[in-house]
Structure 1
Amino acid sequence: MFGFSIWEIFLILVIALIVVGPERLPGLARTIGSWVYKVKKFVANAKAELDSEFNLSDMKNLLTAQESELSKLRALVEETRQEVTESGRHMLGAMDEAEASLRAAAQSEQKKLSAIDSDTAPAAVGKIDQTADNNASSPELAPEPTPEPAPRALSFDDEIRALEQSAGQPFKRPFEASPEAPLASMPPSAPPSSDSKTP
Structure 2
Amino acid sequence: MIEFGFDKLALIGAVALIVIGPEKLPRVARTVGHLIGKAQRYVADVKAEVNRSIELEELKKMKTQFEEAARDVETSVQHEIREAQTDFDRNWSEATAGLDASSSLSAPLSTPVPEYKRPKKNWRLKRGAVPTWYKQRHGVRTHSQSGAARVARFRPPRAR
TM-score bracket for the superposition, by shorter chain length:
0.5 to 0.7
CA 1:181–1:155 in 2, change beyond 3 Å: closer, same or farther? same
**Is the aligned partner of 1:89 residue 2:53?**
no
| Unmatched 5+ stretches in structure 1 | 1-50, 162-177, 189-199
**Is the aligned partner of 1:120 residue 2:88?**
yes
Residue matched to 1:136: 103
Deviation, 1:126, is 3.7
Distance between the aligned counterparts of 1:74 and 1:67, measured in 2? 10
Deviation, 1:147, is 2.5
Deviation, 1:68, is 0.8
CA 1:78–1:142 in 2, change beyond 3 Å: closer, same or farther? closer
Residue matched to 1:76: 44
CA 1:122–1:96 in 2, change beyond 3 Å: closer, same or farther? same
Distance between the aligned counterparts of 2:96 and 2:43, measured in 1? 75
Residue matched to 2:131: none
1:1-199 to 2 correspondences below 5 Å: 56-128=24-96, 133=100, 136=103, 144-147=111-114, 149-150=116-117, 155=123, 179-181=143-145, 184=150, 187=153
Task: Name which structure has the greater RCO, CA cutoff 8 Å, separation 6+.
Answer: 2
Which one has a larger percent helix, Structure 1 or Structure 2? 1
| Unmatched 5+ stretches in structure 2 | 1-20, 129-141, 155-160
The alignment yields a C-alpha RMSD, in angstroms, of 3.9
Distance between the aligned counterparts of 1:114 and 1:142, measured in 2? 28
Distance between the aligned counterparts of 1:147 and 1:122, measured in 2? 35
CA 1:150–1:101 in 2, change beyond 3 Å: closer, same or farther? farther
Tell me the amino acid that sits aligned with residue 119 of structure 1: D
Deviation, 1:123, is 1.9
Tell me the amino acid that sits aligned with residue 63 of structure 2: M
Cα deviation per residue 1:155-186 (whole Å; 9 max; x = unaligned)? 4566xx9xxxxxxxxxxxxxxxx714167355
Deviation, 1:151, is 6.0
Deviation, 1:76, is 0.7
Number of aligned residues? 116
CA 1:142–1:122 in 2, change beyond 3 Å: closer, same or farther? closer
Deviation, 1:143, is 5.1
TM-score, normalised by the number of residues in structure 2: 0.54
